[in-house]
Chain A
Amino acid sequence: MKTEIDLVDIGGGNIGSISRCLERLKVNFHRVDAQSPPDGSRPLLVPGVGAFGAVIDCLRQSQLDGKLVALVKAGTPYLGICIGLQILFEGSQESPGTPGLSLVPGQVVRFQHAKVPQIGWNKLRSRNSDWPSGYAYFVNSYYPAPAQAQATLYEADYGGSFCAAIKTGNITAFQFHPEKSGPFGSELLSRWLASVS
């Protein structure tokens, strides 16, 4: 049986890229959002780019935030990409005063670097022998700083070492864009899909 997933539109832009990647990988996905919310029957893939505060406000207003938190706490597998990773945390330096979903302890912090955002391919170092190292494509000014070191799945360097992906319980999340990271990125997505089927 082929894995079916819910592609959650949380109001962050650029959902086209991940949709087309899923089509290339021949994954059956259902597009869900605040109007037609997920019900936990399928794993959740939450992509998006955008400002932390704006996306959280959107989720709060539509009450999709509560639904996502409930589903994740109930054990529904969750893959977050970019803003889909950042909303999991308690807050972000990008939007002081706006609480995140607080599903993962820690904050989202800004790069200390002459060039922000980081745009381009960076080398991932794996902290988990089941996940391969490789190059991934980033477009980000902020990155996650999980309170628990063991949540870090991948690290990379930009003005120093930073957490590039997390894996904790039923949550996996990438700061980079696997759908834009060539064959290596596709492999990571396939790996997650295999793990939730």
Chain B
Amino acid sequence: MSVDGLCKRIIPCLDVANGRTVKGVKFGNLRDIGDPVELGLLYEEQGADELTFLDISATHEQRDTVVELVNKVARNLSIPFTVGGGVNSVDTVKRLLGNGADKVTINTAAVSNPQLIDDIAIACGSQCCVLAMDVKRSGDQRWTVLVKGGRLDTGHDAMTWARQCVERGAGEILLTSWDKDGTLEGFDLELVQIFAQALPVPVIASGGARDPQSFVDVFQRGNADAALAASIFHDGTYTVAAVKEQLHKAGVTVRLC
């Protein structure tokens, strides 16, 4: 077993629209839950290892607003952050990175145009390119890839797609279980374990975080390299610090502040 000092990462995810952090509520409405920079700083103070900001505006037409936010976040925070949501060109990636984002996630655009992954990796480096994939269980140890915010099932095999993305230059895989997302039932441990084992790049688990024990499980049983969560942090149910405390007690290597 190799000697590793690398810590497992906790990554709060903030959905943003019109420059505000939002949360989906009934009937497709959005509730404003605060200023993204303020929330980001709070999470940083609590020990978040990275942050992810997702632009969930319907048509991503307010690219300038997102760039402005990236700029503001970069000026105030001193931990890495990733930006995503409707990113579909190398120019957009360059603009976001140039304004201070450390990484960019691509999702639907990569499925429509896989060459985009290669182009980003070549222009900006694999380490900037996080391939986000939303997957849904389709059989025994099989999952298919969803796009357009989960609205369309492409029927593509998720593992095949993930391997292709890595070959094309994706530096990390952000793997969201659509079955578990928003359910507070815990992560899909089988999904995470299979992908974390098979892929030669870090896997960020997402979807279903319920409590600090969920994180212990996703790292010890799922072998994820990082875990992303939104609701349980935004709702104030648990702090990042409380999650890390539990992880540390369970013997998981985490950065303690």
A115 near B200: Cβ-Cβ < 8 Å: yes
A159 near B126: Cβ-Cβ < 8 Å: no
Instruction: Write the B183-201 contact mask toward A (1 if CB under 8 angstroms, else 0).
Output: 0000000000000000011
Instruction: Write the A144-171 contact mask toward B (1 if CB under 8 angstroms, else 0).
Output: 0000000000001111110000000000
A16 near B97: Cβ-Cβ < 8 Å: yes
Interface of B is mostly: loop
Q: Which chain B positions have C-beta within 8 A of A122?
A: 5-7
Q: Which chain A positions have C-beta within 8 A of B226?
A: 120
* Other A-B pairs beyond A122-B7, A137-B79, 11, CB < 8 Å: A16-B97, A16-B98, A20-B75, A50-B125, A116-B200, A118-B6, A122-B6, A137-B80, A180-B78, A181-B79, A182-B78
> Does B127 make an interface contact (CB < 8 A)?
yes
- Residue picked from A119, A177, A179, most chain B C-beta under 10 Å: A119
Instruction: Write the A111-129 contact mask toward B (1 if CB under 8 angstroms, else 0).
Output: 0011111111111000000
A17 near B126: Cβ-Cβ < 8 Å: no
Distance, CA A51 to CA B202, complexed state (A): 19
A180 near B49: Cβ-Cβ < 8 Å: no
Q: Which chain B positions have C-beta within 8 A of A34?
A: none
B9 near A120: Cβ-Cβ < 8 Å: yes
Determine which of B79, B98, B200 lies in contact with A182 in the assembled complex, contact meaning CB atoms within 8 Å. Answer: B79
Cβ < 8 Å to A, chain B residues 70-93: 74-76, 78-80
9 shortest interchain CB distances as A-B pairs: A157-B5, A159-B2, A16-B100, A121-B255, A139-B127, A123-B5, A121-B7, A135-B255, A157-B3
Number of residue pairs A-B, CB distance < 8 angstroms: 105
Cβ < 8 Å to A, chain B residues 159-174: 171-172
> Does A102 make an interface contact (CB < 8 A)?
no
A180 near B102: Cβ-Cβ < 8 Å: yes
Distance, CA A122 to CA B226, complexed state (A): 13
List, sorted by A's number, 6 A–B pairs whose CB atoms are closer than 8 Å.
A13-B125, A115-B201, A116-B201, A120-B6, A120-B8, A182-B78
Residue of B nearest to A181 (CB): B78
- Residue picked from B7, B9, B125, most chain A C-beta under 10 Å: B125
Q: Which chain A positions have C-beta within 8 A of B80?
A: 137, 139, 177, 180
Distance, CA A14 to CA B104, complexed state (A): 12
Q: Which chain B positions have C-beta within 8 A of A20?
A: 74-75, 100
Distance, CA A96 to CA B94, complexed state (A): 28
Q: Which chain B positions have C-beta within 8 A of A24?
A: 75-76, 78
Distance, CA A159 to CA B2, complexed state (A): 5
> Does B140 make an interface contact (CB < 8 A)?
no
B127 near A117: Cβ-Cβ < 8 Å: yes
Q: A14-B97, A16-B97 are in contact. Are A51 and B49 (CB under 8 A)?
A: no
Cβ < 8 Å to A, chain B residues 30-54: 44, 49
A17 near B102: Cβ-Cβ < 8 Å: yes
Residue of B nearest to A82 (CB): B127
Q: A16-B100, A139-B127 are in contact. Are A117 and B3 (CB under 8 A)?
A: no
Cβ < 8 Å to B, chain A residues 16-35: 16-17, 20-21, 23-24
Q: Which chain B positions have C-beta within 8 A of A38?
A: none
> Does A68 make an interface contact (CB < 8 A)?
no
B3 near A159: Cβ-Cβ < 8 Å: yes
Q: Which chain A positions have C-beta within 8 A of B98?
A: 16
A21 near B225: Cβ-Cβ < 8 Å: no
